[in-house]
Structures are given as structure tokens and as C-alpha cells.
Chains A and B, each alone.
Chain A
Amino acid sequence: MAHEQAHKLAIFRGNLKFKSNVSKIWGVFVVLSIITIIEVALGILRPDFLVTHKFLSLNLLNWIFILLTICKAYYITWDFMHMRDETVGLRRAAVWTGVFLIAYMVLLILIEGDYIYEVYKNGFIKFNF
């Protein structure tokens, strides 16, 4: 197993290519750090425009946070957990299973939570459900 595996060294859809695996790792670290800094800065500033404007009943700021998080998760999985180097089958088995089940669960549970909120707020019977 000591053979030198061929790592895929390009990120950003091939736009950024590194010379060695080590430099790719540091490159990904820089990418993750920049995303985190953006997140933290937005979390501290909380620009009014992003907080008050909504898309699909979630304000824009939270959309940005969630998308940036998924972005981070992608680079951690693809480069640190070397999913980029695994076969397509393994990649799909792990990622699609997780993504599908989690998205399904989150959707149902959040809709349910919102429904209960409405009952608490507007319903005549407050506790009996």
C-alpha cells in the first residue's frame, strides 16, 4: 500500500492547480479560512439589508451562512477526507445517501416546527396536541 497514490491536485473546477498534495492541503486551508472569516465578519456586522430581506421565509444572511457552510463541508470532505481521489461509486454512495436523507429529514422537521409555532400563536387550543 506504500505506493504513491495519484492525488487530484486541482480545485475550483480545475481552475486552481497545485504542484503537490502538500501545497494543495495548505491551499484548501486558506480557502476554508477565508470562508470562515467572511462568516464571522457577517455574524458580527449583521448588515440590516441581509437581515430584513427574506427568501423562502429565511433571511438572506442565513442563506449566505448555510451556503458558505456547505461550501466548507465540500472542501473538507473532498480534499481533507480525499473524497476527490475515491471512485465515483464510493463518492456517490456516501454523499448522496447523506445529502438525500438529511435534506428530507430537515425539510419535514422544520415544517413541523413552523406548524406548531402557528398553533401556539393563533390556535385556540394551546397545549392539546
Chain B
Amino acid sequence: MEATVVKTGTEGKTWGGGNEPLKASYGKMMMWFFIVSDSLTFAGFLSSYGMSRFKFIDAWPIADEVFTHFPFLHGVEAPMYYVAFMTFILIFSSVTMVLAVDAGHKMQQKKVIFYLFLTIIGGLIFLGSQAWEWNTFIKGDYGAVETHGGQIIQFLDKDGDRVALADFAAVDNGARVEQTKQLGVWYQQESEYLPTVSFEQVKEGFLANDNLLIRLPYKDEHGKHIVLGREESITKLVNDGNLVVEGANLRHNEYGHPLFADFFFFITGFHGFHVSIGVLLNIIVFFNVIIGTYERRGHYEMVEKVGLYWHFVDLVWVFVFTFFYLV
């Protein structure tokens, strides 16, 4: 490892090389440099999220109402529980990582293997959870209507519960002809771009159903979305309604402002990418531990360096968790 280090013969002197003023090896120092610079990147993303949110502060989706799902519990409102679970998974994998580092200091190969294995499993569970959450978010929930001005309006019944578009939209009268490859120059599968119901059907169903109301993206002083009366709702939908939005992508977002979805995909995606890299590094080190590379090298510092990275991923998640789901 130290084959390239040139001995100058002045090792004992402060500036002679070969001594470590901060008592940290080259590799550890560089990992810290990387972490500091990477945390600035994440800080840039999160603060630009903050900027967009402050820019549209009274029309921002409430995270509690967006992430309400828990795997295998369909139709049960469970705000926060799943992200809380993900947070615990990540903190726990941080714990097993630091236990692996500690075992490495004591040269206990078996224990390092065991704890690294648990860390990798934790990382994979976290990644799977994130994939599931993205999937749920992209598919959407109740559906909404976007106005000409780009606002998202959502539908409630008289009790204030959300209503799905499909539940009240008028049934298809069979007038629409399906696009086929023969008819279109630019052909897409219908399911790729068409929502399950059309705006006309939604409008018809809304007018026929007296107990439906519209909820605006704007919030009142208590931080709750404004709900319009029946008359205002009808005016709003008929005059301003434009298209049906189901789920979220980079252009439309049924939960509210499209920027919310953009930042969600970008920031959690960037974090997920870091986690993937972390899992990959952990796997490489894991196999190195198994074949005894570090045992021969005489120290387990590589586990420590990868560990620093892994804890950093956890550290970032703590902030993403706060600013995306809590605040």
C-alpha cells in the first residue's frame, strides 16, 4: 500500500512528510473531504427545494397527505409510518456498520463479516422501500384535475374525504375511437399518455353528483387546503378545468405543484443513487473481508472508510426525511 510513498529521511520533522498532523490517514482524510463537498451538493438541492417551496408557500402539497401508504395495507391511511420505518432501517444499518468497524479494530474477521452482511441487507431493504414508494407516488392515488393555469384541484365529498375520479366520473359512452398505429403518424400506446377517464367524463360526473366539492391547492392560515362551496366548485371546474392528471411525473403531479414531484424524484433519487453506490462498496469490502485481504494487510481501515460513506448516506437521509416529510 505504501509502495509509492517516497521516504525523504525527514520523517520526524513536522513538514518532512510521513507524519499525520490530524492523526488521520490519507484515505480517511480524503473520505472526509469528499463527504464535506458532497454534503454541500445535497445542501444545494435541499435549499433549492426550500426556495421553490417558499416561492409557492401557500400552494405546496402537504407531505402527510401525499405519502399515506404502507405496503400490504391498502386503503388504510398511514401517513409517515412507512418513511419512519425507512429511517429506522437506515439508522439500524448505520449501527451494524459501526459495529463492523469496531470489530475491525479488534481484528475479529467473523464479526466484521456478520455485521457487514446485516448492513448490506439493510441497504437493500431501504432501496426496495424507496422503489416501492416511487412506484406508489408515480401511479397516484385519487386523481385530480389540472386547470388552464396549471393549478391542481382535487375532489372531496361532503365529509371532507378524498374521492377518486373513477368513483364518480360518468361512464364512457363509447364515442371515443381508440388510436391505432394505422391512424397516427406519431403512435403511442394509449395507456402511455391517456388517463383512465377523460375530463369531460369527470365534469359530467361532478355535475351529476351533488355531494362533491373541490379542494384548491391554496392553504388557509391553519395550513389546510381551502375547500370551495358547491356553487363555486362547479364554476371552478367548468370554467378553469383543463385535463385529468393521475399520478405524478416530471410535468404533472396530481398531489399539487409539479415542482414538488420534480424535487421528490431528484432529491430522493440522488440519495437513492448514493445508497446504491454505498451498497456496492459494502459488497466489495464484504468479499474482501471474506477472502481475508484485510486480515493479511493487518488492518481493517477500508471497512472504516466505506463505513464513513455509509454513515454519510444515513446523515443525508435524516435531513431529507425532515425537509420532505416532516416540515
Chain A residues in the interface with B (C-beta under 8 A):
1-2, 4-5, 21-22, 25-26, 28-29, 32-33, 36, 39-40, 42-44, 46, 51-52, 62, 65-66, 68-69, 72-73, 76-77, 79-82, 86-87, 89-90, 93-94, 97-98, 101-102, 105-106, 109-110, 112-114, 116-117, 120
CB of A110 within 8 A of CB of B24, answer no
CB < 8 Å neighbour of A69 from B21, B88, B105, B322? B322
> How near does chain A come to B241, taking the closest CB pair, in angstroms?
22
Besides the known contacts A39-B322, A69-B321, 18 further A-B residue pairs in the complex with CB atoms under 8 A apart: A2-B105, A2-B107, A5-B105, A25-B99, A29-B95, A36-B91, A40-B84, A42-B326, A76-B311, A80-B95, A80-B97, A80-B311, A90-B23, A94-B32, A94-B36, A110-B47, A113-B51, A120-B56
> How near does chain A come to B89, taking the closest CB pair, in angstroms?
11
CB of A114 within 8 A of CB of B299, answer no
A-B residue pair count with CB separations less than 8 angstroms? 146
Interface membership of B98, Cβ < 8 A: yes
> How near does chain A come to B18, taking the closest CB pair, in angstroms?
15
Q: Which residue on chain A has the smallest CB distance to residue B22?
A: A90
Q: Which residues of B contact A79 (CB under 8 A)?
A: 98
Q: Chain B's interface: helix, strand, loop or mixed, by majority?
A: helix
Interface membership of B43, Cβ < 8 A: yes
27 contacts across the A-B interface (CB closer than 8 A): A1-B25, A1-B298, A1-B301, A2-B105, A5-B105, A25-B98, A25-B102, A33-B88, A69-B322, A72-B318, A73-B318, A76-B94, A76-B315, A80-B97, A80-B98, A80-B311, A81-B311, A81-B312, A82-B101, A89-B22, A98-B36, A105-B44, A106-B50, A110-B47, A113-B51, A114-B54, A114-B57
CB of A21 within 8 A of CB of B102, answer yes
CB of A80 within 8 A of CB of B21, answer no
Q: Which residues of B contact A46 (CB under 8 A)?
A: 64
Q: Which residue on chain B has the smallest CB distance to residue A102?
A: B43
> How near does chain B come to A120, taking the closest CB pair, in angstroms?
7
Chain B residues in the interface with A (C-beta under 8 A):
21-25, 29, 32, 35-36, 39-40, 43-44, 47-48, 50-57, 64, 79-81, 84, 87-88, 91-92, 94-95, 97-99, 101-102, 105-107, 222-223, 298-299, 301, 307-308, 311-312, 314-315, 318-319, 321-322, 325-327
CB < 8 Å neighbour of B39 from A26, A28, A82, A98? A98
CB of B84 within 8 A of CB of A36, answer yes
> How near does chain B come to A20, taking the closest CB pair, in angstroms?
9
Supposing A81-B308, A102-B43, A105-B44 touch, asked if A66 and B327 sit within 8 A by C-beta, the answer is yes
CB of B95 within 8 A of CB of A117, answer no
Measured in the bound complex, the distance between the Cα atoms of B102 and A25 in whole Å is 9
5 nearest CB pairs, A to B: A113-B54, A1-B299, A113-B51, A90-B22, A102-B43
CB of B222 within 8 A of CB of A51, answer yes
CB of B55 within 8 A of CB of A109, answer no
Q: Which residues of A contact B223 (CB under 8 A)?
A: 51
CB of B327 within 8 A of CB of A4, answer no
> How near does chain B come to A108, taking the closest CB pair, in angstroms?
9
Measured in the bound complex, the distance between the Cα atoms of B29 and A2 in whole Å is 18
> How near does chain B come to A75, taking the closest CB pair, in angstroms?
10
Supposing A25-B98, A86-B24 touch, asked if A32 and B107 sit within 8 A by C-beta, the answer is no
Supposing A101-B40, A113-B55, A120-B55 touch, asked if A76 and B314 sit within 8 A by C-beta, the answer is yes
Measured in the bound complex, the distance between the Cα atoms of B102 and A22 in whole Å is 7
> How near does chain B come to A18, taking the closest CB pair, in angstroms?
12
> How near does chain B come to A118, taking the closest CB pair, in angstroms?
10
CB of A105 within 8 A of CB of B47, answer yes
